[in-house]
């Protein structure tokens, strides 16, 4: 796309020049209409910066248009020859107004943002009315003079031509801007403010800039509006005009450079073409706009792009690798790159971190481990500046950094990853890295190349031009690491980088982390997989309930009795349920036959059949991406299977909605901490019983709290404030409150500390023993097999093995091949 | 006396803002979208009630529910046509789509109902009661009590009933809500119907005070939205309270400074409030864990 | 990001261009009609006024065309909606002049729109005849030659009349002003202040209100405190009705004298029983029987089935003013013998006497006075039920 910009620019400018010349043959009215198209297009480009690039919104652009128009009209009324300086001043004043409005607006989102811009439009309109002495009040001002050109005042035709040229220049500037460092940075802020701060972008300043640019362009359009129409009054700038401006951009398409042009053509010309309909006109305009929004969701530009798709980027040849140490150019230093002293943080009344002190030396990998809710992620957020500590100090390269914001710490060399990889989904994988890269030393035209190499270093094998939003979880983590490396960090914080990876995939990750550390970077790691932690770490810090309970080299930690008790637990007897075989000949409770399902494109699951008898527990095993979650989603009705049928309790329920099935007792506890974040823990649990249409009573809740004491402590807190592991417990507890007849669990142990995961499965075993029918999907195959009677193994969406749980567990070769090794490797090393 | 008169009618107008704001609140908490045609729906309620009562001679106990049902029905259609298609794509274009729908309704009303403002007679708006030396219409009190009563009812419904909780849960995690047996689509449709009925009620109640016309809703729609934002969108009592505050502020500004300053000052206050309290007066930040 | 201009874009642009350039015009009959424009509010709150004007113009055009047209050509009315917005009005006037080549155009109820159209009329040398908006500055705009004429009331003169009525009939010593917050209100504010100064009356105060305001008690209470013993009201029907109802609510029984804005809608219905006490100014009442009045009413009833009697002529001044203005324009066309703007302007300034619906114009306009109606042509009226009847 970049390569094609040259000829297109020439073509566009040529067209603009032709149009500008053609304006000479238009009559006055046509010239006025052409000028209006140009002005709305200019405002639209400004809105494109604001909406399309920076992801904000303004329904108050008329305010800035009015500022520009009145500045020009008032100055040229006194000194007609000063049009051009007046125009410049108008643009500046409008931009300043935009900046001032941005100060409160950048903290706002969605409807709040819309409201403040609407309010601004009203305030400006009525200020003009009230300030009669200057503005002539509601009477408005007649603009006597035109636009001075070298050969005299511009005629209506010349003015229209001029506006076309100015609009063309604005479009060109936008095309360059959108690809520039600033443009990419704005897009980054749009996609994730958190991640943008983490790569050192000053999100507030960037959003203010977008507002100022949009306002300045509206002011520019306003400056031309006065001479174009010859008269301005407060009524020339009604709120409805702002709405129309936004509509123009939306209809044109916010993603494309030329979107505002298409939109402007439509919103100006459509009413003109319908002028014959007189008073019926607005009725048609409203209807047509609605239809246009419905049939062209990505705007006209988007629809055109879809029409001529096929010119995709050629697949990139695998990029050469990168000498990471040379790129990072850091001498291995043994002094502390990052140090925390006495950090304390309270969270919703609970002390999440208390008196945390640690040093993270350069060139070493430090792991933070501990049970769920121990405060590991909170420590990472304190270190990286996303939370402000209540007490304590943070030192980055020996200098106090405790008062710096996240983006400032990033600029001082602190990079981080997030628990769920946070990427800029609207940018390509390469641009994700590129936007971070430019913070480092000048790399010039090499930037793209280096970004590609960094991706390769991080193990990314996909198309660097693919949108980040389209990548799978593993690729997202790789892009995130590459992006963090692009900052040339002194310190790198990683939050559960190995989560969801198979053993085969963990090896390269461990090597990469060692390589990064070897280059002199202080790596800090939060991770549950102890084998992985032991393999990569130089030192380990163990947290429990916000406090450091142990710290030292891996060997010492392994031997530490306190750690064993707090974190690892003792392996309880796991097989009471599975051992107690129930009588054969039980009724089939859930029967899936020939299920084929997916999300468009190739099916993820093909022709899968299984049956679960009443009181039986079935484990579904398989590597990442084998289709386990998709299968469950198809069974409970979250997605409609393309083929096959589901029978539940003797009746055909294929195609039933998830809500309907839940009400019938087929309950899925979905993967990944699916809670209602704004509701309290108690209310989350109560909603578990919604399908029963009864409100659970106190004793029922108490029973849940007995099983999950952590939830009892936090029952009145909003669920969103819980740690990841606690949320997982809540989701499972909530599923149990539905009193399911068949309970499906998708990755229940994901993100749980070993001790908690073990206790959870012990509880599930008890439930199985009590006669609950269950289907369990879990990466920790030993745990799942431990409670199941039978199991099936999925590979690439098909069943490859099925049999009794005991047989499958015994088949270590099978486990190694299909279970990503987690089955073959005991969960907790017995050596510990 | 001057201020007393202003305050009383300010409270009644504010209660209208509150009713509209409640409508914005309902769809927001259920679907994280709002109906920007709320003002047009308000007009629709007044126009239907007017036509039924004066055109067809229906008694008000019949016309009122019929008009509310009409508005609710419109809300259902609007959700289906102008909101759901966009939310399904994860697009924010419902904002503009509802604006366009509002344009459509307003202009359609212009033809069906006519261009002139019409007077809606009401027994409650005929004879003022004298309180504090200021005339108050019984309708003023009815509006105020309706606004406060509905806000209270909403608060109880969302705090204490499973259905209310379920409404709130839908938007926070639609997938999980479905798995709890909550039909997210139905909840959203219900929210839009309810929101539209509220707007219609506001229109019918205010009609005897401000006349019925095709464009009566535009300014009210925006001010109701301002009230919803001021209150923080999240709590029913907050948005109604903010509506009352906005009505009071407008009335006192008009009484003390003059009508020319009202819009400037009241929307200026909105900007200032949002500067100091980005989530509104009574709202709180949504949880955003890193 | 794409910065490509596809051939399809050209096709679309060309399509739009074609549509703009070749939008259908009525087929040109032989001889071609003389196009005459109207820029008025056809939608929105003031739409009734646009309809009333249209009716007056249409009836007059029918009469003229039935009599063989002017210069051997029939007249044709081309209407454009200004949505009560000056910007839209300007675009509409430009379109009428440069694309439809109208020889002259009429204006609507909104003073802000008419004020905005003045420079265009003078620059394009196309006569602009106001038939409703009363803002003083519309005709008294300082241009020479001045292409703006008016067959309607003039605020400065109406204001004198209103104040005189307040003092002599309502026996007011300190009238208070209630003015709509727009240029029309401002124009009358200036006019009333000047008139008060000229007659040595001290005003109790001036308050303004917005079109959408739902309660005016705050402003009225301030006037009451300031000792107002009579109210002079300037505003359109809907907000003015709100003023009356706010008065009722306050229990303040005070004489109200109004500009004619209240005749542009269903004021009696909106304001309730107290509407009858408001005295206001008109240029014409269809209840005032005359031969010509009967004839025009019959034509209106024939052309518009909704009109079944004088009470159904909503916003009568618009219809009456427009009817006379159209005939005056036809006279001027005939006298000029041409459709050229300058000739037409000169002819308008030197029209022969004409017996109109409102009065005998002798003559309508002069080089220094572009207002066909003066203070003696105003009559004070009030509503009796739905009918506008003279006060006396």
Nearest residue to A619 (alpha-carbon basis) of A770, A765, A766, A816 = A765
Quote the pLDDT of residue A635. Answer: 92
Q: Quick one: average pLDDT of B216-236?
A: 90
Q: Quick one: average pLDDT of A485-500?
A: 87
Pick the residue from chain A with its C-alpha nearest to B171.
A676
Quote the pLDDT of residue A224. Answer: 94
Report residue A721 as tokens. Answer: 């404030």
Pick the residue from chain C with its C-alpha nearest to B218.
C212
Give Cα B215 distance to the centre of its chain.
Answer: 16
Quote the pLDDT of residue B289. Answer: 56
Candidates B254, B257, B262, partner chain C, best to mutate (most C CBs within 10 A): B254
* B259/C219 CB distance under 8 A: yes
Report residue A815 as tokens. Answer: 């486990």
Best-predicted range by mean pLDDT (A211-225, A607-621, C178-192): A211-225
Quote the pLDDT of residue A270. Answer: 79
Quote the pLDDT of residue A831. Answer: 31
CATH number for the domain formed by residue range(s) C156-282: 3.40.50.2300
User: Average pLDDT, whole number, for chain A?
Assistant: 82
> Residue A800 in contact with residue A818, Cβ under 8 Å?
yes
Percent of chain A exceeding pLDDT 70 equals: 87
Domains recognised in chain A with CATH numbers? 5-241 (no CATH), 335-568 (3.40.50.300), 587-665+740-825 (3.40.50.300), 679-738 (no CATH)
Distance from CA of C130 to the nearest CA of B (A): 22
* CB of A415 less than 8 A from some CB of B: no
Q: Which residue has the higher pLDDT, B209 or A203?
A: A203
* pLDDT at A504 exceeding the cut of 90: no
Quote the pLDDT of residue C12. Answer: 44
Pick the residue from chain C with its C-alpha nearest to A19.
C13
The model's pLDDT over C204-232, given as tens digits with 9 standing for 90+, comes to 999 988 877 778 888 888 899 899 999 99
Q: Quick one: average pLDDT of C130-153?
A: 91
Nearest-by-Cβ selection for B286 from A638, A657, A678: A678
> Residue B29 in contact with residue B228, Cβ under 8 Å?
no
Quote the pLDDT of residue A68. Answer: 96
Q: Which residues of C touch A5 (CB under 8 A)?
A: 3
Which residues 114-153 on chain B approach chain C with CB closer than 8 angstroms? 115-119, 126, 128, 130, 134-137
* pLDDT at B253 exceeding the cut of 70: yes
Quote the pLDDT of residue A445. Answer: 62
Q: Residue C27: which pLDDT band, with cuts at 50, 70 and 90?
A: very low
Pick the residue from chain B with its C-alpha nearest to C208.
B259
CATH architecture type of domain C34-153+290-374: 3-Layer(aba) Sandwich (3.40)
Q: Residue A275: which pLDDT band, with cuts at 50, 70 and 90?
A: low
Count of Cβ atoms closer than 10 Å to residue B138 Cβ: 15
Distance from CA of B176 to the nearest CA of C (A): 36
Residue C198 and residue C262: Cα distance in Å, rounded? 27
Count of Cβ atoms closer than 10 Å to residue A817 Cβ: 17
Every domain of chain C and the residues it spans: 34-153+290-374, 156-282
Give Cα A639 distance to the centre of its chain.
Answer: 23
Count of Cβ atoms closer than 10 Å to residue A809 Cβ: 21
Quote the pLDDT of residue B284. Answer: 72
Best-predicted range by mean pLDDT (A441-445, A554-558, B189-193): B189-193
Q: Residue A832: which pLDDT band, with cuts at 50, 70 and 90?
A: very low
C156-282 matches C34-153+290-374 in CATH topology: yes
Among A222-226, A682-686, A770-774, A794-798, the minimum mean pLDDT is found in A794-798
Give A608's strand partners: A595
The model's pLDDT over B75-93, given as tens digits with 9 standing for 90+, comes to 999 999 999 988 888 777 8
* pLDDT at A218 exceeding the cut of 90: yes
For chain B, give the number of residues. Answer: 290
Quote the pLDDT of residue A822. Answer: 40
Q: Residue C150: which pLDDT band, with cuts at 50, 70 and 90?
A: very high
Q: Which residues of C touch B17 (CB under 8 A)?
A: none
Q: Residue B173: which pLDDT band, with cuts at 50, 70 and 90?
A: confident
* B267/A123 CB distance under 8 A: yes
**What values do phi and psi take at A657, rounded to 5?**
-75, 155
Query: Which contiguous run of DSSP H or E holds residue C381?
Result: strand C379-384
Distance from CA of C250 to the nearest CA of B (A): 5
* pLDDT at C371 exceeding the cut of 90: yes
The model's pLDDT over A147-198, given as tens digits with 9 standing for 90+, comes to 777 777 778 888 899 999 999 999 999 999 988 888 999 999 999 989 999 9
Every domain of chain B and the residues it spans: 2-276
Q: Quick one: average pLDDT of A763-786?
A: 84
Quote the pLDDT of residue C195. Answer: 93
Query: Which contiguous run of DSSP H or E holds residue C116?
Result: helix C111-124
Give A795's strand partners: A798
Candidates C46, C217, C318, C385, partner chain B, best to mutate (most B CBs within 10 A): C217
Coil vs helix vs strand at C373: coil
Residue owning tokens 């990944």:
A672
Angle between helices B162-172 and B184-210 (to 10 degrees): 110
Query: Which contiguous run of DSSP H or E holds residue A530?
Result: helix A530-536
Candidates A4, A25, A29, A267, partner chain C, best to mutate (most C CBs within 10 A): A29
Q: Quick one: average pLDDT of C224-251?
A: 90
Quote the pLDDT of residue B60. Answer: 86
Best-predicted range by mean pLDDT (A455-469, A796-810, C319-333): C319-333
Residue C186 and residue A162: Cα distance in Å, rounded? 37
Percent of chain A exceeding pLDDT 90 equals: 26
* pLDDT at C16 exceeding the cut of 50: no
Pick the residue from chain A with its C-alpha nearest to C39.
A278
Quote the pLDDT of residue A384. Answer: 92
**What's the CATH fold of domain B2-276?**
ABC transporter involved in vitamin B12 uptake, BtuC (1.10.3470)
The model's pLDDT over A519-560, given as tens digits with 9 standing for 90+, comes to 889 999 998 777 888 889 999 999 887 888 888 998 888 777
Query: Which contiguous run of DSSP H or E holds residue A70?
Result: helix A61-78
* C86/A304 CB distance under 8 A: no
Quote the pLDDT of residue A238. Answer: 85
Give C231's strand partners: C176, C256
* A15/C5 CB distance under 8 A: yes
* pLDDT at A819 exceeding the cut of 60: no
Quote the pLDDT of residue A732. Answer: 87
* CB of B156 less than 8 A from some CB of C: no
Quote the pLDDT of residue B139. Answer: 87
Nearest-by-Cβ selection for C214 from B13, B116, B263: B13
What does the radius of gyration of chain C's CA atoms come to, in whole angstroms?
Answer: 22
* B271/A293 CB distance under 8 A: no
Among B127-131, C345-349, C359-363, the minimum mean pLDDT is found in B127-131
Report DSSP letters for chain B, one per residue. -HHHHHHHHHHHHHHHHHHHHHHHHHHHHHHS---TTHHHHHHHHHHHHHIIIIIS---HHHHHHHHHHHHHHHHHHHIIIIIHHHHHTT-STHHHHHHHHHHHHHHHHHHHH-SS-B----GGGTSPEEETTEEE-HHHHHHHHHHHHHHHHHHHHHHH-HHHHHHHHHHH-HHHHHHTT--HHHHHHHHHHHHHHHHHHHHHHHHHHH-B-TTTHHHHHHHHHHHHHHHTSS-HHHHHHHHHHHHHHHHHHHHHT-GGGHHHHHHHHHHHHHHH-TT-SS--PPP---
* pLDDT at A322 exceeding the cut of 80: no
Q: Report angle CA B115, B121, B126 to the nearest 5 degrees.
A: 135
Q: Quick one: average pLDDT of C355-365?
A: 91
Distance from CA of A96 to the nearest CA of C (A): 26
Q: Report angle CA B118, B121, B124 to the nearest 5 degrees.
A: 140
User: Average pLDDT, whole number, for chain C?
Assistant: 86
Quote the pLDDT of residue B134. Answer: 67
Q: Quick one: average pLDDT of B264-284?
A: 88
* pLDDT at A826 exceeding the cut of 70: no
Q: Residue A277: which pLDDT band, with cuts at 50, 70 and 90?
A: low
Q: Quick one: average pLDDT of A600-627?
A: 83
């Amino acid at each position: 796309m970049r390569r094609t910009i040259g000829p297109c620019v020439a073509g566009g400018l040529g067209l603009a020049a032709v149009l500008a010349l053609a304006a000479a043959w238009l009559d006055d009215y046509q010239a006025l209409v052409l000028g209006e198209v140009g002005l709305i297009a200019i405002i639209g480009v400004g809105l494109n910066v604001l909406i399309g690039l920076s992801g904000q919104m303004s329904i108050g652009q008329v305010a800035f248009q009015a500022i520009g128009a009145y500045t020009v009209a008032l100055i040229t009324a006194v000194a007609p020859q000063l049009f051009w300086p007046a125009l410049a001043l108008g643009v500046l004043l409008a931009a300043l107004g935009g900046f001032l409005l941005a100060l409160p607006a950048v903290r706002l989102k969605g409807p709040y943002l819309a409201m403040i811009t609407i309010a601004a439009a009203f305030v400006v309109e009525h200020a003009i009315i009230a300030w009669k002495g200057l503005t002539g009040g509601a009477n408005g001002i007649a603009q006597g003079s035109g636009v001075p050109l070298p050969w005299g005042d511009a005629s209506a035709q010349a003015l229209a031509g001029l506006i076309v040229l100015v609009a063309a220049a604005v479009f060109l500037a936008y095309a360059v801007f959108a690809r520039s460092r600033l443009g990419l940075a704005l897009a980054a802020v749009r996609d994730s403010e958190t991640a943008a701060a983490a790569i050192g972008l000053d999100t507030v300043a960037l959003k203010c800039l977008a507002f100022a640019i949009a306002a300045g362009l509206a002011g520019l359009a306003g400056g031309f509006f006065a001479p174009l129409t010859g008269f301005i009054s407060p009524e020339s700038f009604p709120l409805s005009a702002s709405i129309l401006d936004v509509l123009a951009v939306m209809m044109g398409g916010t993603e494309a450079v030329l979107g505002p042009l298409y939109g402007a053509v439509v919103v100006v010309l459509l009413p003109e073409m319908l002028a014959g309909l007189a008073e019926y006109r607005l009725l048609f305009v409203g209807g047509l706009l609605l239809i246009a929004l419905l049939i062209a969701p990505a705007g006209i530009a988007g629809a055109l792009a879809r029409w001529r798709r096929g010119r995709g980027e050629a697949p990139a040849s695998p990029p050469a690798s990168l000498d990471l140490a040379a790129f990072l150019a850091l001498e291995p230093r043994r002094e502390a790159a990052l140090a925390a002293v006495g950090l304390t943080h309270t969270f919703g009344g609970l002390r999440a971190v208390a008196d945390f002190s640690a040093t993270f030396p350069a060139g070493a990998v430090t792991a933070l481990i501990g049970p769920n809710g121990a405060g590991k992620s909170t420590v990472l957020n304190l270190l990286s500046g996303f939370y402000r500590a209540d007490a304590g100090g943070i030192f980055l390269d020996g200098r106090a950094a405790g008062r710096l914001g996240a983006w400032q710490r990033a600029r001082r060399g602190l990079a981080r990853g997030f628990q769920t990889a946070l990427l800029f989904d609207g940018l390509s994988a390469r641009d994700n890295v590129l936007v971070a890269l430019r913070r480092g030393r000048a790399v010039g035209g090499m930037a793209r190349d280096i970004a590609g190499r960094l991706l390769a270093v991080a193990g990314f094998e996909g198309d660097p031009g693919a949108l980040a939003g389209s990548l799978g979880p593993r690729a997202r983590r790789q892009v995130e690491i590459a992006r963090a490396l692009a900052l040339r960090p002194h310190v790198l914080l990683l939050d559960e980088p190995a989560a969801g990876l198979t053993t085969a995939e963990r090896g390269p990750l461990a090597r990469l982390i060692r390589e990064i550390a070897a280059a002199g970077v202080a790596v800090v790691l939060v991770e549950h997989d102890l084998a992985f932690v032991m393999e990569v770490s130089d030192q380990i810090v163990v947290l429990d309930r916000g406090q450091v309970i142990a710290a030292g080299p891996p060997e010492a930690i392994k031997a530490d009795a306190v750690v064993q008790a707090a974190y690892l637990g003792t392996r309880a007897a796991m097989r009471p349920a599975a051992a107690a075989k129930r009588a054969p000949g039980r009724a089939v409770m859930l029967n899936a036959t020939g299920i084929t399902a997916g999300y468009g494109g190739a099916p993820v699951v093909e022709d899968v059949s299984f049956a679960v008898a009443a009181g039986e527990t079935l484990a579904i095993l398989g590597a990442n991406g084998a289709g386990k979650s998709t299968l469950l989603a198809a069974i409970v009705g979250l997605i409609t299977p393309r083929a096959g049928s589901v029978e539940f309790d003797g009746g055909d329920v294929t195609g039933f909605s998830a809500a309907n099935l839940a009400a019938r007792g087929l309950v899925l506890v979905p993967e990944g901490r699916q809670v209602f974040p704004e509701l309290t823990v108690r209310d989350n649990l109560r909603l578990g019983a919604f399908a029963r249409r009864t409100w659970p009573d106190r004793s029922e809740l108490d029973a849940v709290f007995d099983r999950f004491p952590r939830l009892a402590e936090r029952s009145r807190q909003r669920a969103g404030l819980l740690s990841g592991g606690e949320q997982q417990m809540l989701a499972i507890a909530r599923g149990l409150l539905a009193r399911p007849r068949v309970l499906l669990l998708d990755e229940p142990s994901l993100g749980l500390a070993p001790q908690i995961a073990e206790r959870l499965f012990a509880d599930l075993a008890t439930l199985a023993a009590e006669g609950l029918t269950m289907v369990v999907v879990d990466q920790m195959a030993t745990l799942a097999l431990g409670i199941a009677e039978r199991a099936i193994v999925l590979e690439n969406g098909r069943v490859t093995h099925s049999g009794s749980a005991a047989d499958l567990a015994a088949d270590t070769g099978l486990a190694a091949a299909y279970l990503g090794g987690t089955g073959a490797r005991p969960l907790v090393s017995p050596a510990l | 006396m001057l201020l007393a008169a202003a305050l009383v009618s300010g409270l009644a107008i504010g209660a209208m803002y509150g009713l509209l704001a409640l409508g914005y609140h309902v769809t927001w908490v259920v679907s994280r979208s709002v109906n920007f045609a709320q003002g047009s729906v308000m007009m629709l309620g007044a126009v239907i009630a007017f036509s039924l009562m004066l055109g067809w001679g229906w008694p008000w106990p019949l016309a009122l529910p019929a008009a509310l049902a009409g508005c609710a029905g419109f809300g259902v259609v609007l959700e289906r046509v102008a909101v759901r298609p966009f939310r399904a794509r994860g697009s924010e274009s419902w904002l503009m789509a509802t604006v366009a729908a509002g344009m459509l309704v307003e202009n359609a009303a212009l033809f069906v109902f006519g261009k002139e403002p019409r007077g809606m007679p009401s027994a409650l708006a005929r004879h003022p009661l004298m309180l504090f030396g200021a005339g108050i219409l019984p309708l003023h009190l009815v509006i105020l009590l309706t606004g406060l009563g509905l806000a209270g009812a909403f608060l109880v419904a969302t705090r204490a009933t499973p259905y209310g909780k379920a409404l709130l849960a839908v938007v926070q995690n639609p997938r999980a809500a479905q798995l709890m047996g909550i039909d997210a689509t139905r909840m959203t449709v219900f929210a839009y119907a309810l929101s539209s009925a509220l707007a219609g009620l506001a229109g019918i109640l205010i009609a005897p005070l401000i006349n019925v016309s095709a464009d009566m809703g535009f300014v009210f729609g925006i001010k109701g939205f301002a009230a919803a934002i001021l209150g923080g969108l999240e709590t029913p009592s907050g948005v109604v309270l903010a509506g009352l505050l906005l009505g009071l502020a407008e009335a006192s500004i008009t009484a003390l400074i003059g009508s020319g300053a009202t819009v400037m000052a009241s929307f200026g206050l909105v900007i200032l409030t949002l500067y100091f309290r980005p989530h509104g007066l009574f709202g709180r930040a949504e949880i955003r864990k890193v | 990001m794409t910065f490509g201009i596809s051939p399809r874009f050209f096709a679309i642009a060309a399509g739009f261009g074609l549509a703009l350039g070749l939008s259908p015009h009525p087929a040109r009959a032989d001889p071609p009609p003389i196009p005459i424009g109207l820029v008025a509010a056809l939608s929105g709150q003031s739409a009734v006024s646009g309809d009333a004007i249209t009716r007056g113009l249409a009836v007059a055009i029918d009469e003229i065309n039935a009599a063989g047209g002017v210069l051997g050509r029939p007249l044709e009315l081309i209407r454009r909606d200004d949505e009560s917005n000056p910007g839209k009005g300007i675009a509409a006037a430009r379109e009428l002049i440069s694309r439809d080549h109208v020889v002259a155009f009429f204006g609507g109820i909104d003073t802000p729109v008419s004020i905005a159209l003045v420079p265009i009329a003078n620059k394009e040398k196309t006569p602009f005849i106001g038939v409703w908006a009363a803002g003083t500055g519309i005709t008294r705009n300082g241009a020479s030659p001045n292409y703006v004429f008016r067959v309607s009331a003039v605020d400065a003169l109406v204001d004198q009349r209103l104040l005189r009525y307040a003092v002599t009939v309502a026996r007011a010593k300190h009238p208070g002003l209630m003015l709509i917050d727009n240029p029309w209100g401002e124009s009358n504010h200036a006019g009333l202040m000047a008139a008060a100064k000229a007659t040595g009356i001290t005003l109790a105060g001036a308050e303004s209100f917005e079109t959408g305001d739902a309660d005016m008690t705050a402003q009225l209470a301030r006037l009451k405190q300031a000792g107002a013993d009579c109210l002079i009201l300037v505003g359109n029907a809907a907000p003015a009705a709100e003023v009356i109802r706010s008065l009722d609510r306050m229990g303040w029984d005070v004489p109200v004298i109004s500009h004619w804005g209240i005749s542009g809608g269903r004021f009696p219905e909106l304001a309730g029983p107290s509407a009858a006490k408001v005295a206001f100014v008109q240029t014409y009442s269809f209840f005032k029987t005359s031969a010509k009045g009967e004839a025009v009413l019959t034509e209106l009833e024939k052309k518009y089935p909704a009109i079944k009697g004088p009470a159904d002529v909503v916003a009568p001044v618009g219809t009456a003013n427009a009817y006379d203005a159209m005939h005056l324009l036809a006279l001027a066309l005939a006298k000029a013998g041409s459709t050229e703007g300058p000739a037409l302007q000169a002819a308008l300034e030197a029209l022969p006497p004409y017996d109109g619906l409102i009065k005998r114009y002798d003559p309508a306009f002069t080089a220094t006075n572009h207002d066909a109606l003066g203070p003696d042509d105003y009559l004070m009226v009030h509503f009796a039920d739905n009918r506008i009847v003279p006060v006396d």
